[in-house]
A = this chain, B = another copy of it.
Amino acid sequence: MTASAEFPVPERPDGWLSGDEIAQVRRSMPIVYVDAIPVRVDDSGDVIAVGLLLRVTREGVMSRALISGRVMYHERVRDALVRHIEKDLGPVALPQIPASPQPFTVAEYFPTPGVTAYHDPRQHAVSLAYVVPVLGDCLPQHDAIDLAWLTPEEACAEQVQVEMNGGQGVLLRQAMAHVGRL
């Protein structure tokens, strides 16, 4: 999950919660998330590369991440996917959001490690996960220092997996299993 601030002021609707209230909500109920695995495909739809964001954590450790973020109030899941992909890959990535809302899996990030394969110390997030082909130019934004395109084999290799946090390495391998490239 991204470490970026996710409740920015401009998106706050009427009756929105204060910072303290948000913190309390995050300890009180599950939060709706989306995870997107950006991929490059060939003309027959076969995945040839997976895009991973390179970030430096607060502790100064390099980590690789998927595109991940909250679904806002009164926002459709598909619009949340577009928003988060544009936020992380820039405005001309041309993501091909799936026509169906059926995710390939649901990643349940628990604040307690070990309940599921996914973990987020800040909250209980229920994340709908999608593989999203991107056709345009992708430029890492904000806190990401690079965007690396790896083959499915490289993405599933141990040295990449250990650089991913909170179970996103597992989710990435689930995505590759789903597209037949495990």
A residues whose Cβ falls under 8 Å from a Cβ of B: 13-17, 21, 24-25, 27-32, 39, 41, 43-47, 71-79, 81-82, 96-106, 108, 110-112, 115-117, 124, 126, 128, 131, 133, 170, 173-174, 177-180, 182
Say what secondary structure dominates the interface of chain A.
loop
Copy total for this chain: 4
Residues in B neighbouring A72, C-beta threshold 8 A: 29-30
A5 to chain B, nearest CB (A): 15
Are the C-beta atoms of B178 and A105 separated by less than 8 Å? Answer: yes
**A-B CB contact pairs (8 Å), 25 listed:** A13-B27, A17-B24, A25-B25, A28-B73, A30-B71, A41-B97, A43-B82, A44-B79, A46-B78, A46-B99, A76-B108, A99-B131, A99-B133, A99-B179, A100-B179, A100-B180, A102-B102, A102-B104, A102-B106, A103-B106, A106-B128, A173-B182, A174-B180, A174-B182, A177-B177
